[in-house]
Amino acid sequence: MTATSNTIAAAPILANRVALVTGGARGIGASIVERLSRDGAAVAFTYSQSRETADTLVKRLEGEGRRVLAICADAADPAAVVAAVDQTATELGRLDILVNNAGVASWGPLADFKLEDFDRVVAVNVRSVFVATQAAARHMVEGGRIVNIGSCNADRVQAAGGGVYAMSKSALVGLARGLARDLGPRGITINNVQPGPTDTDMNPADGAFAAKLHQIMAIPRHARSDEIAAMVAYLAGPEAAMVTGANMLIDGGFTA
């Protein structure tokens, strides 16, 4: 006689949840979109210029039976950011998870750094995070999750020219700690993930500066973008309900 199993498969950990990932068409953002989607969430993501890449990601995930929405929105435009948040909540029915991933990097010597580059770094890396968080909090209920993608450069800048970028990522540390106090009484958490060198098209593992970066690290390699996404998925899930105002380094010991 063959035993019959009555085991019922557990629902995906993020079933019935809705997420928005800013800057989600490529790199770390795309890996976060894929991970949250495969954990059961319906996922919207923004992009500004990567239309073809965004469409490819949507088609691939929809082919797996996922619910995905791509929204064209420039993170430097506050009105576009708010509209993307509201569109997500309207079209997908709610908003439970916000991942502030959109970012830009401008490096250069102090003497030559252009004010317009400074303004764009602040607009995208800091202001858009505040704007999206403020808009998302209007839709979220208890159990909401906000995750910012910062950088290990908030704690260590390995070379000259990175002051403005580091400043923008350091700002997220204070923002998350402060907003944790605003959002905590509502049962909403906010945290930062601070990646180190990560293998993307903007910072390839075989790039010109990779070897020098690896010499600084305890684990001498670039992270994979899915490793960053795994940390985000933890913070977005139910097991992280008591984690808020935290800065989670995932940098292979870059700052150790």
Active site residue 234: no
**∠ CA(61), CA(63), CA(65), 5° rounding?**
80
250 CB-side CA count, 13 A: 21
CB-based contacts of 223, cutoff 8 Å, min separation 6: 195, 196, 197, 198, 199, 250, 251, 252
**Does residue 32 contact residue 99 with C-beta atoms inside 8 Å?**
yes
Alpha-carbon torsion angle 208, 211, 212, 216, nearest 10: 150
**Residue of 165, 169, 199, 223 marked active site:** 165
Distances (CA, A) of 254 to 29, 51, 170, 213: 21, 34, 16, 8
Known catalytic residues are 165
